[in-house]
Amino acid sequence: MHTFHCLILNTMIKFKVIVNHHVYVFLLSGFRSLTPPLTIVRKTFESTENPDNFLPSVMTCVNYLKLPDYSTVEVMREKLALAAREGQLSFHLS
């Protein structure tokens, strides 16, 4: 979880997210301050597909993260960072 928390903070700083009340509370308290609580589940695929080829997906209104079973922590970092960059100006249903 520490890796994930650091990645989120670094992404917010890198893209100069406007610090509103919710982000400020998050920076001070971490994931336990989220309402509803953060839920992370495994994103599933067909057995022939490689999870490393997919990005994570989220349902932000309920703090729900669908994370593929990546082969390494480094792959997870790269995919989370890419999803954060690419998803800044878009809204998709998953």
If you average pLDDT over residues 22-41, what whole number do you get? 73
Identify the structural domains of the chain with CATH numbers, from first to last.
2-86 (3.30.2410)
DSSP code per residue over the chain: -HHHHHHHHHHHHHTT----HHHHHHHHHGGGG-SSPPEEEEPP--TTS-GGGS--EEEGGGTEEEE---SSHHHHHHHHHHHHHHTTT-----
Residue written as tokens 């890198």? 14
Q: What average pLDDT is seen over the chain? A: 76
Q: What is the pLDDT of residues 44-72, one digit of tens each?
A: 988 899 999 999 888 877 878 899 999 99
Instruction: Exactly one of 1, 18, 41, 61 is catalytic; name it.
Output: 61
- Cα 5 to its chain centre, rounded Å, is 9
* pLDDT for the residue 75: 93
Residue written as tokens 């997919």? 54
* pLDDT for the residue 29: 74
Angle at 13 between CA 58 and CA 82, to 5 degrees: 40
Active-site annotation holds for 61: yes
Higher pLDDT: 79 or 32? It is 79
* pLDDT for the residue 18: 46
